[in-house]
């Protein structure tokens, strides 16, 4: 594991863990980019990306274990999940970064800032073209480029639909306003 100085980040949030998934996968902890020599901890990072994909409200233990260990039976999958969760918390240097309770797992949004979540939040709240453009400024490319898992593909499809809907809605609204302005000028 190696720590590097960060690039200027698009998430202007005072969170100790920054997770970038749009156009790339990058993890910043306490302002330093985390890089691995060799393979890196594959399962803990898969767990992290699954939790990001499920969103701020998290996911049930069953769906997460099914995605990570599709061939494992219930108890073996659960035991593997607990081990992987422990390793991910160590990697993030914060136990409180991931909550586990009532059969659910979720990232703590006060500890972990996620570009995907911020982008979706800004896009959903956009009420005009400028707001859509501000949201699109966070979009650096498809979710987890190169990851062909069903979870990543599903998030990509959801994002494409949200982007198309928001741009279409505000483009149409802008076109209508332009027509009204032209009619008033005549």
Which of 50, 56, 47 shows the shortest CA–CA distance to 15? 56
Question: Which residue in 45, 44, 3 sits closest to 20, CA to CA?
Answer: 45
What pLDDT tens digit does each residue of the chain (186 aa) get?
A: 433 334 444 555 578 999 999 999 999 999 899 888 877 789 999 999 999 999 999 999 999 999 999 998 888 999 999 999 999 999 999 999 999 999 999 999 999 999 999 999 999 988 888 888 889 988 999 999 888 888 899 999 999 999 998 888 766 655 555 544 444 444
pLDDT value, residue 35: 86
Q: How many helices (H) and strands (E) does the chain have?
A: 6, 8
Query: In the prediction, which pLDDT does 118 show?
Result: 94
- Would you state the pLDDT for residue 29? 93
How far apart (Å, rounded) are the C-alpha atoms in residues 157 and 148?
A: 12
Residue 93, Ramachandran bin (φ over 0: left; ψ between -120 and 50: alpha; else beta): left
Q: Note the pLDDT of residue 12.
A: 58
What does the pLDDT read at residue 11? 54
Query: Which pTM value belongs to this model?
Result: 0.82
| pLDDT score for 168 | 84
């Amino acid at each position: 594991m190696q720590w590097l100085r960060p690039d200027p980040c698009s998430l202007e949030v005072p969170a100790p863990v920054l997770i970038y998934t749009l156009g790339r996968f990058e993890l910043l902890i306490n302002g330093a980019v985390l890089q691995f020599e060799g393979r890196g901890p594959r399962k803990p990072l898969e767990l992290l990306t699954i939790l990001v994909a499920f969103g701020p409200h998290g996911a049930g233990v069953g769906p997460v274990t099914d995605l990570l260990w599709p061939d494992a039976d219930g108890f073996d999958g659960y035991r593997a999940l607990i081990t992987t969760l422990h390793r991910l918390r160590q990697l993030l240097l914060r136990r409180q970064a991931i909550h586990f309770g009532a059969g659910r797992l979720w990232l703590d949004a006060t500890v972990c800032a996620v570009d995907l979540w911020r982008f979706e939040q800004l896009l959903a709240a956009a009420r005009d073209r400028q707001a859509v453009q501000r949201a699109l400024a966070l979009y650096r490319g498809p979710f987890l480029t190169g990851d062909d898992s069903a979870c990543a593909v599903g998030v990509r499809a959801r994002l494409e639909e949200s982007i198309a809907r928001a741009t279409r809605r505000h483009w149409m609204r802008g076109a209508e306003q332009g027509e009204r302005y032209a009619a008033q000028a005549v």
